[in-house]
Structure 1
Amino acid sequence: MELGSVLHFLENRSILVTGATGFLAKIFTEKILRAQPNVKKLYLLLRAADSKSAMLRFNTEVISKDLFRILKEKWGVNLNSLISEKVIIVPGDITCESLGVKDLNLLEEMFKEVDVVVNLAATTNFDERYDVALGINTFGAKHVLDFAKNCAKLKIPADMVVNAIVVAMVAHANQPNESIYHVGSSVSNPVEFTWLQDYGYQYFTKHPWINKDGKPVIVGKVTVLNTMASFRRYMAVRYLLPLKGLQIVNAACCQYFRGTYLDLYRKIKFVMRLIDLYGPYLFFKGVYDDLNTEKLRRSVRESSADADIFYFDPKIINWDDYFMDTHIPGVVKHVFK
């Protein structure tokens, strides 16, 4: 496939993004505004009852995030003007007809102006004018890319996922698209699950987390069970047998330990229910074939002048550096509060 310039494709095009306050959608918005400020319009669909509440969500949940720091530094006091000119906040609900947009004038404007619909929401109900059955709508040159359903978000930095989304958007312009892109590292640059535990242990040993009492949290290595059978054996020996013993003692002591027994029984039963639910994911042994994504990477390398701007090859990632210097520090900064 011939890509040409990705930046040129984005210039003077209007894009509708669903799920605009979501994780990937925020990164997508920042990337477009930073890499191609000459985009015509970005219509950002947010779940909200009216324009005022939608704008409040946009300001508090999107633009105020540290993600937009570089954009703010680049544009300074002119950032508000850029956003006012390029970004249209659309209050609506993706589960409703016509995306729940109540402003009929805005809805008609979107139908006339939107060139690309990028679905980054978990659930979307497009009507006949936004038909995503084949990943392309009935507007001829305009097209819908349903990334929420057709793109696997696996172990890979999110900016690479967004770069892949943008490139796929350009690659499949004006043509039906039934391709599924697994944007991940499981084939090209695999990450073992046990590495994550090792990275966490190394990081918090070197940089102890201080709890609310001002004391460092001591971390240790834990036993990782690789099969459901080994987990059930561990639970039986470590918890179920002692619980059975407590049940016998409780009966002999005229239900003296009944409260303790019931509390432990409920906790163990809860854990077992969680394992039954998540076991297929925890012990999943498959890998995701990223052949389609590799073809997309090859195309952007060979035929686009913007390959470096929209780079998404996981083979370049040094996982030691990524987890120790970027991922875990980011989790500590933005999640541990």
Structure 2
Amino acid sequence: MADRKCTSQSKRDLVVTRAGILTTPKDREVAEEDEEDECGLGIEEFLRDKNMLITGTTGFVGKLLIEKILRSQPDVGKLFLLIQGPNQEAVNKRLRHEIINAEIFKRLKEVHGSSYEAFMLSKLVPIVGHLEEDFLGMEEKVHKDIADNVDVIVSCAANTRFDERYDVALNTNTNGALRLVKLARRCRKLQVFLHVSTAYVNGPRTGLIKERAFSFGDSIAREEAMATHSQEIPPILDIGAEAKRINDALEGWAENTATPRMKELGLERAKIHGWPNVYSFTKAMGEMVIGSMSNDLPTVIVRPTIIGSTIQDPFPGWIQGLRMADPLIVYYGKGQLNLFTAEGKTIVDLVPADMVINAILAALVRHGSSGVAGLNIYQIGTSSINPLRFDELFNHCYEHYLSFPLIDSEGKFVHIEKMKLFDTLADISSYFSIGENGRLKKAKDMHILRKLSVTYEPYTSYKGRFDIANAKKLMKRMSRVERSNFTFDVAAIDWRDYIVNVHIPGLRKHIISGDAS
């Protein structure tokens, strides 16, 4: 056989040559696997000339994804970016201000020099759009242009508030996913649809949590009740009935009471079905919708755990906004949180953002190249292979702040103590009621503690470990060069070095104001 380049197209041709015909998707998958170890996934080659629609583009994950695509494959086609705004002029301004001028793109600026802006404008196409609206809020002409020209759709947008109004969260995280899949099914050239979810759609499952899909009607509470042979089996989860429940409630509520009552309803419905908050509940329903429509479309769901700052790419420590674990780290460094409700041995399932991006691109190319329809789930996290405990996290934080303390409002170095961890708030109250261990220095500190304890309770006592078997298989299919350029080898993370020398310095540079460094 003549020499050939290891590209996605050549692998497909080789399958045809060997087998004569592509008889079944399984045959095609097996034939490809023979070659992947030698050739890799062909990530850069696959991205060449591809037109992509990306949502959530002004967010943390979205920006990193755009940056990595443009830097690793400058010959990518058009990146259509769905951006919220009242009109085209507004989204054009957001494109320049929040993406083109963002610090995360400084390596691209170095590469392209004076032609940087022209390069970006030649690749990035801002589109007025809203996940919450029919047809994604697009104009009819734009919607048709997307359907005619897009090869790849990546869904990064989500409402991540734990205490969001139920109607808002469902419309974005569940119905928004439905609207995107409907668009995907209209795209005549589409090779793959990828949705970024969260590993915490699994709710309070315990043990090793497999990378398995949700089906319509699945309910964590129902699953647990059946597993324990409970006499009371909760009802199946009916997404349509949940939407009707919301509409009926809104019709009966006064406008000035709708927001708090809708938040209460969301939390109530989430807990009835076994999820800790409205975010993970509506994201799980979004996965159900996507899975139900993936039979004739190569579909990928990537479930990251707690996303932290970048560990190396495009540079260490970049972060946008306080991520899930970061308020604890910041309050601790400011001297406002020296005790907390968390079991010390509980795992903080943290994963650097650039590893999440690399896993997204690898999975996208893997299934975009194969052309095999169906749903594929990838969890990306560290709890099952390189766990970081809460007590270890705070020990690393203590080491950093002891050497490099923050400065308070009076210009003095903030003194911190080692974090004390308690199982419950009641245990903390008991601790303060004994002898001269006294009380918190400021009343607001207790308020912060209570608020954070309630918010983080589902995660500070989490018993599950997320299986990443599919992600590990994916890494094995990558070439040595790809594993270097697109690594998501979470086993290689040195947690002390990452927390002390990368993550907290990143928070200090990009998030914390009034810093000493």
Residue 170 of structure 1: aligned partner = 365
Q: Where has structure 1 moved over 3 Å in runs of 4 or more? A: 1-4, 126-132, 136-141, 266-278
Match of 2:148 in 1: 112
Question: Alignment partner for residue 482 of structure 2, among 302, 306, 312?
Answer: 306
Alignment-derived partner of residue 181 in structure 2: 130
Give the counterpart letter for 1:211 in structure 2. Answer: D
What displacement does 1:74 show?
0.9
Query: Could you tell which deviates more after superposition, 173-182 or 64-73?
Result: 173-182
Matched, 1:279 2:461: no
The alignment partner of 1:145 has SS state of: strand
Give CA-to-partner distance per residue, 1:42-62, whole Å, 9 cap, x none.
Answer: 011111111111122222222
CA distance in 1, matches of 2:487, 2:380: 12
Aligned-partner residue type, residue 105 of structure 1: K
- Superposed displacement of residue 237, structure 1: 5.2
Secondary structure of 1:181's counterpart equals: strand
Q: CA deviation at 1:213?
A: 2.4
Deviations 1:262-308 (A, max 9, x none): x97x9978965764453222211221111111111111147xx5332
Q: CA deviation at 1:315?
A: 1.6
CA distance in 1 between counterparts of 2:417 and 2:449 reads 21
Contact 1:7 1:306 in 2 (8 A): no
For residue 222 of structure 1, report the CA deviation from its aligned partner: 2.2
SS at match of 2:110: helix
Question: Pick from 277, 299, 318: which aligns with 2:494?
Answer: 318
- Report the RMSD for the aligned CA atoms in angstroms: 2.8
- Indicate the SS of the match to 2:392: helix
1:199 aligns with 2:396: yes
Query: Pairwise mapping of residues 1-337 of structure 1 onto structure 2 (< 5 A)?
Result: 1=33, 2=36, 4-102=41-139, 104-122=140-158, 123=173, 125=176, 130-131=181-182, 137=185, 139=187, 142=190, 143-148=192-197, 150=301, 151-154=303-306, 155-173=350-368, 174-225=371-422, 227-228=423-424, 231-236=425-430, 238=432, 275-301=453-479, 306-337=482-513
- Inter-partner Cα distance in structure 1 for 2:375 and 2:187: 17
AA matched with 2:475: R
Distance 2:62 2:138 in 1: 19
Which amino acid is the alignment partner of residue 119 of structure 2?
L
User: Which stretch of the first structure deviates more once superposed, 182-191 or 16-25?
Assistant: 182-191
User: Does the 8 Å CA contact 1:41/1:86 hold for their aligned counterparts?
Assistant: yes
Do 1:97 and 1:127's aligned partners in 2 also have CA atoms closer than 8 Å?
Answer: no
SS of 1:180's equivalent in the other structure is strand
Alpha-carbon distance between aligned partners in 1 of 2:130 and 2:384, rounded to the nearest angstrom: 37
- SS of corresponding position for 2:466: coil
C-alpha contact (below 8 Å) 2:304/2:356 kept by paired residues: no
Q: Cα distance 1:129–1:274, how it changes in 2: closer, same or farther (>3 A)?
A: closer
Instruction: Render the CA deviation track for 1:193-247: whole Å, top value 9, x for unaligned.
Output: 112211111111111212332211111112112x33xx3233245369x9xxxxx
SS at match of 2:359: helix
Distance in 2 of aligned mates of 1:79 and 1:297: 32
More off after superposition, 60-69 vs 283-292: 60-69
Q: Give the Å deviation of 1:140.
A: 6.3
- 1:131 is displaced (CA, Å) by 3.2
Q: CA deviation at 1:139?
A: 4.3
Q: Which amino acid aligns with 2:467?
A: D
What code does the residue aligned with 2:182 have?
D
Distance in 2 (CA, whole Å) between partners of 1:323 and 1:224 is 19
TM-score computed with the length of structure 1 as normaliser: 0.82
Give the letter for the 2:196 counterpart: F
Change (3 A) 1:200 1:274: closer
Letter in 2 for 1:187: S
Mark the runs of 5 or more structure 2 residues left unpaired by the alignment.
Answer: 1-32, 159-172, 199-300, 307-349, 437-441
Please give the secondary structure, in 2, of the residue aligned with 1:307.
Answer: helix
Q: Structure 1: which 5+ runs fail to align?
A: 243-262
- 1:328: Cα distance to partner? 0.7
Offset at 1:129? 7.8
Counterparts in 2 of 1:269 and 1:8: CA distance versus 1, 3 Å? closer
1:257 matched residue in structure 2: none
Question: Which moved further from structure 2: 77-86 or 272-281?
Answer: 272-281
Give 3-state SS (helix, strand or coil) of 2:41's partner.
Answer: coil
Q: Is the 8 A contact 1:137 1:144 kept in 2?
A: no
Alignment check: 8 A CA contact 2:148 2:188 kept: no
How big is the shift at 1:333? Answer: 0.4
Q: What amino acid is the match of 1:137?
A: R
Shift in Å at residue 121 of structure 1? Answer: 0.7
Q: TM-score, normalised by structure 2?
A: 0.55
Percent of residue pairs bearing the same amino acid type: 29
Q: Secondary structure at the match of 2:53?
A: strand
Quick check: 178-187 or 271-280, which moved more?
A: 271-280
